[in-house]
Amino acid sequence: QSVLTQPPSVSGTPGQNVTISCSGSSSNIAINYVYWYQQLPETAPTLLIYRNNRRPSGVPDRFSGSKSGTSASLAISGLRSEDEADYYCAAWDNSRSGYVFGTGTKVTVL
Amino acid sequence: EVQLVESGGGLVQAGGSLRLSCAVSGFTFSNYWMTWVRQAPGKGLEWVANIKEDGSTKNYVDSVKGRFTISRDNVKRSLYLQMNNLRSEDTAVYYCGRWEVAAIDSWGRGTLITVSS
């Protein structure tokens, strides 16, 4: 059972901006970094955002992350067809001494 | 180029055991924590375990504690997951990953474990 809650789905037309929320608690997001992963269909996940808002090399600046209190968000600006994928937030949880993933959000480009 | 290649997956009966391996190349294995993550069919990601560079510290998700053991061989540049007393709910694709300060910055392609009841 995931301890980080995300909306099941988000959709938009090409060029639109969309945001995915990630709700956690005082034992995870509030006190630790948040990470975001992208999983394209039938492939392994890849790191999209690390330490709340940093992008690994090669990740377009259309993707941005933010954190406030016990919640985090991933914003995709100028949505493109290739952004259609599942997105997961994650953070270390001190009370569980373990890494927790969000429930996942499917992004659909209409 | 960083590469992680899992092996050892397959079909096993409930209560049985399986050992997964992950062979790495393209980076200094002994300098990194490593991790296993799984994904049940049609479901989300679930972190399973991680292990420190020298193997001295290991963490597990509660659902596998006492049944799974993560280990590594820095000479062979390999990560392992020994899975005992397997249950149907362990059916998943298992990914190995390189752990960099809580970011899983490189992933293998995964290996499928199917536990039949």
Which has the closest alpha carbon to B92: B15, B12, B21, B16?
A: B12
Q: Do residue B102 and residue A104 have CB atoms under 8 angstroms apart? A: no
- Torsion angle, CA of B87/B50/B39/B78, rounded to 10 degrees? -90
CA distance B5 to chain A (A): 12
Give the pLDDT score at B101.
83
CA distance B15 to chain A (A): 23
Query: Chain A partners of B37 at a C-beta cutoff of 8 Å?
Result: 45, 101
Write out the two tokens for B104: 């899983």
Paired residues of A102 in beta bridges? A4
Q: Do residue B102 and residue A46 have CB atoms under 8 angstroms apart? A: no
List, for residues A44-77, the tens digit of each pLDDT value: 999 999 999 999 999 999 999 999 999 999 999 9
Q: What burial letters (b/e) apply to A42-71, b meaning 16+ CB within 10 Å? A: eebbbbbbbebbebeeebeeebbbebeebb
Query: Chain B partners of A56 at a C-beta cutoff of 8 Å?
Result: 105
Q: Do residue B44 and residue A44 have CB atoms under 8 angstroms apart? A: no
List, for residues B52-104, the tens digit of each pLDDT value: 999 999 999 999 999 999 999 999 999 999 999 999 999 999 999 999 988 99
CA distance B39 to chain A (A): 10
Inter-chain Cβ pairs, chain A and chain B, closer than 8 A: 61
CA B10 – CA B21 distance, rounded (Å)? 12
